[in-house]
Amino acid sequence: MTATFLRRLYFTVVALFLSAPLIVVAGVSVNARQELTFPPKGFSLAWYGQIFTDPEWRLALIHSVTLAVCSAAIAVAIALPLAWFLWRRIAPWANIFQVLGLAPFILPPVITALGFLSFWATVGLFGHFFTAIISHAIFFVTLPLVTLSLGFASIDRSLVEAAATMGADDRTVLKTVVLPLILPYLVSGYAFAFVLSLNEYIVAYMTIGFTTETLPIKIFNALRYGYTPTMASVSVFFVAVAALVFGSIAKFGDIRRLLGAMSSDGN
């Protein structure tokens, strides 16, 4: 009885801690007038409309979405052949590429960002939009690499052997057995990279921040030059997108497994 009560209390406190700032932001975002008050005075969804109608916010949204869509795609394109090779071949030295794929995500982000800044500045491409796409792709390659490695590890190798005994060569096996089985992991890897790219600030700022605004950059700039409730509505929009994407992964895939609930070799 009391144990259950204490556990519920504990869960509630953690839930409150995690949601309190978001609740306040959500409250602020529906203020009727342009003021930072909570509880909100009046009710208006106008600030949500702003994201799509205000030219500056809309442009930032388009930049962010373009960046996320493209960089996540490139990240997957890098991770898929790498994860496949590491699963298919015995080549211990190739693990160096796995380390390279994991490093940008483990190191403090400022470092990776600064690395990109010095690189693009040195090669004279600083400020071009595509540099942010490539930078994000490298920065977030870790995510599809991890999900795909998990996915490959979960494939029973006898499935591939069975296909070979029935006359399938390597290419056919890849197309008819491996890819269909890996697809959920590929989609979640893409989704993870997409959401994080959408939210990323420092790498985007250090590559294209002087010429282009993405949503996080726009929020930060707005924060420095005064308050507008659109910042709050955009924040809520971000939380909603993340919850939607991760919720879909949970619904159509096994999110517990993706987060390591089962050992990678087990079933």
Partner 1 sequence: MRREAPKSLADYTPLLFPGLMLVVFFVVPFSTMIAVSFFKRNPSGFYTPDFVIDNYARFLTAFFGGVLGFSLLLAVLVAVCCVAIAFPFTYLLTKRPRRVQTLWLVGLLSVLSLSEVIIGFAWSTLFSQTAGITNLFVAIGLMDKPVALLPTFGAVLAGMVYQALPYTILVLYPALVRLDPTLLEAARTLGASPVRAFFNVVTPALRNTIVATLIMVFVFALGSYLLPQILGRPRHWTLSVLITDQAIYQSNMPFAAAMAVFLVLISLALVGLTLLVGRKENAL
Partner 2 sequence: MSGLDINAITKTFGNFTAVDKVRLNVPHGTFVCLLGPSGCGKTTLLRMIAGLEEPTSGAIVLDGDDITPLPTHKRNLGMVFQSLALFPHLSVGDNIAYALRIRGASKEEQKKRVEELLALIHLPGFADRPVAKLSGGQRQRVAIARALALSPKLFLLDEPLSALDAKLREAMQVELRQLQQRLGITTIVVTHDQREAMTMADLVVVMGHGRILQAAPPIEIYRKPADAFVADFIGITNLLPAEIDSAGRTTILGTAIPGLAMPVGVAKASVSIRPEDVHLGEAGGRAITGQVTFVRDLGGTIETFVEVGGTSIIAVATPRERPNVSVGATVGVTLPPESCVVLGP
Q: Where along the sequence are the contacts to partner 2 (CB under 8 A)?
A: 156, 158-159, 161-169, 172, 176-177, 180-181
Measuring CA to CA, which residue among 62, 54, 67 is closest to residue 222?
54
For partner 2, the closer of residues 39 and 180 by Cβ is 180
Q: Does 35 bind partner 1 (CB under 8 A)?
A: yes
Residue 162 binds: one of partner 2, partner 1, none (C-beta under 5 to 8 A by kind):
partner 2
Nearest 10 degrees: CA dihedral of 97, 79, 69, 211? 10
d(CA 245, CA 195): 8
Helix (H) or strand (E) holding 76: helix 55-88
Query: Which residue's CB is nearer to partner 2, number 37 or number 176?
Result: 176
For 125-189, the DSSP string reads -TT-HHHHHHHHHHHTTHHHHHHHHHHHHTS-HHHHHHHHHTT--HHHHIIIIIHHHHHHHHHHH
Site for partner 1 in 152-171 (CB under 8 A): 157, 160-161, 164, 170
* Total of residues contacting partner 1 (CB under 8 A): 97
Q: Which does 117 bind (CB under 5 to 8 A by kind): partner 2, partner 1, none?
A: partner 1
Q: How far apart are CA 129 and CA 111, in angstroms?
A: 20
Q: Minimum distance from CB of 53 to partner 1 (Å)?
A: 21
Nearest approach, Cβ of residue 254 and partner 1 (Å) = 9
70 counts as binding partner 1 under rule CB under 8 A: no
